[in-house]
Amino acid sequence: MRLILIRHGETPSNVAGALDTAIPGAPLTPLGHRQADAIPAALADEAITAVHASPLVRTQLTATPLATARGLEIVVSDGLEEIGAGELEMRTDQLSISSYASTVTAWIAGDLAVPMPGGPDGHSFFNRYDAAVGAIAAGHADDATVVAVSHGAAIRTFAARHGGPREERLLNTGAVVLDGDPSSGWTVARWSRDPLGGAHLVDEQALDPTGDPDPV
């Protein structure tokens, strides 16, 4: 199958550089809504059969224009949430952001035993994200194309495990396209760093700690 993982649109927390990972999370900014509105046209050539989103508000708001355009219901899928920040939740200081980023980097490099301060380790993250992706795949035909709206650090970490770049940003409504299935494995077919609607939708001023592998 084809799995298109799309990062949600911009939120006030992205702009402020806050580690906002808990449910329900922040809504979208006006730019975030424009980013979401641009997704249907950007994916016009994809024969999308289902649209999934994490339990957080921002992913469901991002998924809404695409689901509406295709006449589909949004399926809220547990397990697609962001990598939990633990005791760093909603922090904006550089030490906390660096700690979050270095933990994610360790997992991408294969050191899954490193825990997020007060939060999960890499084994826990992959267990729940793999289970979420596995459930999505099990619910659709082998030739289906499914969109799942998820979160920056989670998508980057999952995709890196399947051949995606280890040190590439994923901006709001950027996307990673994977082909395959949980049994035979996934291959990263395309990495769209910029918003699917185009680079004019990038907010260069946003601090965005979960979308950047090396925030400074």
Report the catalytic residues. Answer: 8, 82
Question: 3-state class of 4 per DSSP?
Answer: strand
Q: Which of 57, 7, 3, 37 is nearest to 169 (CA)?
A: 7
The letter for the amino acid at 4 is I
What is the number of other CB atoms lying within 10 angstroms of the CB of residue 12?
Answer: 15
Query: Which residues touch 171 (CB under 8 Å, ≥6 apart)?
Result: 7, 193, 194, 195, 202, 208, 211
Q: How many helices (H) and strands (E) does the chain have?
A: 7, 6
Are the beta carbons of 88 and 115 closer than 8 angstroms? no
E-assigned strand segments in 54-200: 74-76, 145-150, 175-181, 185-192
